[in-house]
C-alpha cells in the first residue's frame, strides 16, 4: 500500500491523519509491528515516520528505478 499526499495539500496534517487511521486498524487487528520503505530522498516522509516513532532498520540499494535507495523503517506497536 502507498501513502501519498498531493503536493498542494502537504503541510495540512493529512499524512499524519492517514498514519493514525492505519494505527487504529493495526490495533484492531492486533498487529505487532509495521514496516515500510521510503525513498532516501523523501526527507518530509522520513521525518513524518520518525515523528511517529519509526526507526531505520535497513537499506535496499537502488530499489527505486534501479537508482534511488529505499530506507526500511519499522515501528513496534504496544497493545
Cβ neighbours of residue 74 closer than 8 Å, sequence gap 6 or more = 33, 34, 35, 36, 54, 55, 57
Q: How confident is residue 3, by pLDDT bands cut at 50, 70 and 90? A: confident
What pTM, to 2 d.p., does this model score? 0.87
- CA 44 distance to own-chain centroid: 10
Q: What does the alpha-carbon distance between residue 71 and residue 46 come to, in Å, rounded to a whole number? A: 9
What integer pLDDT is reported at residue 79 of this predicted model? Answer: 63
User: How many angstroms separate the most distant Cα atoms in the chain?
Assistant: 38
Q: What is the pLDDT of residues 15-67, one digit of tens each?
A: 999 999 999 999 999 999 999 999 999 999 999 999 999 999 999 999 988 89
Amino acid at each position: 500500500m502507498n501513502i501519498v499526499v498531493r503536493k498542494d495539500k502537504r503541510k495540512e496534517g493529512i499524512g499524519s491523519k492517514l498514519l493514525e487511521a492505519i494505527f487504529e486498524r493495526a490495533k484492531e487487528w492486533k498487529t505487532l509491528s509495521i514496516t515500510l520503505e521510503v525513498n532516501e530522498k523523501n526527507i518530509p516522509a522520513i521525518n513524518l515516520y520518525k515523528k511517529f516513532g519509526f526507526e531505520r532498520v535497513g537499506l535496499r540499494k537502488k530499489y527505486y528505478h534501479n537508482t534511488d535507495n529505499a530506507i526500511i523503517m519499522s515501528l513496534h506497536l504496544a497493545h
